[in-house]
């Protein structure tokens, strides 16, 4: 069964010129892009997206980072799209958790600057797609 997930190529990925590389990996996996937009994120959108992290030590820095430059927001579709993109992304910590061959494992060094975000469950995907693409 096909499902959808929200993917962000974060400002570090855009600034480093990795948008094409990351989109190519998504497409080569067989996942389909159903929405794609370069945008600078309003603080309220970032706060809503990352609401579960409010109060954590990295929260303020995370909001500054996500709103600090353009990012690419996308909705990606395919069979098991949520797990498939998380496999492509690798674990949150690019060095300790992400395998070589994953996006974070190949291109990342620091947990905050981990290049991409992908929804972690069907409930998160529905919530996050509603935040970033309310008209979809």
| Positions marked active-site | 117
86 marked among binding-site residues: yes
40 marked among binding-site residues: no
What's the Cα-to-Cα distance from 17 to each of 39, 71, 107, rounded to whole Å?
15, 11, 11
Considering the complex, state which of residue 1 and residue 112 has its C-beta at the smaller distance from ligand CMP.
112
C-alpha 103/C-alpha 90 separation (Å) is 6
C-alpha 101/C-alpha 31 separation (Å) is 17
Considering the complex, state which of residue 38 and residue 58 has its C-beta at the smaller distance from ligand CMP.
58
Least spacing, CB of residue 132 vs ligand CMP, in Å: 13
**Alpha-carbon radius of gyration of the chain:** 14
Tokens of 21: 């590389």
135 marked among binding-site residues: no
| Interface contacts to ligand CMP, rule CB under 6 A | 53, 58, 62, 92, 111-112, 114, 117
Residue ranges at the known binding site for ATP: 10, 58, 86, 92, 104, 114
């Amino acid at each position: 069964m096909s499902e959808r997930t929200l993917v962000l190529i974060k400002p570090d990925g855009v600034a480093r010129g990795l948008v094409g590389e990351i989109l190519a990996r998504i497409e080569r996996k067989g996942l389909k892009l159903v929405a794609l937009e370069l945008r600078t994120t309003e603080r309220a959108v970032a706060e809503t997206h990352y609401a579960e992290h409010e109060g954590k030590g990295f929260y303020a820095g995370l909001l500054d980072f996500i709103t600090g430059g353009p990012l690419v927001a996308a909705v990606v579709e395919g069979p098991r799209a949520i797990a498939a993109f998380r496999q492509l992304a690798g674990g949150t910590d690019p060095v300790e958790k992400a395998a070589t061959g994953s996006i974070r494992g190949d291109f990342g060094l620091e947990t905050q600057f981990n290049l991409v975000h992908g929804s972690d469950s069907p409930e998160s995907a529905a919530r996050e797609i509603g935040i970033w693409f309310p008209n979809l």
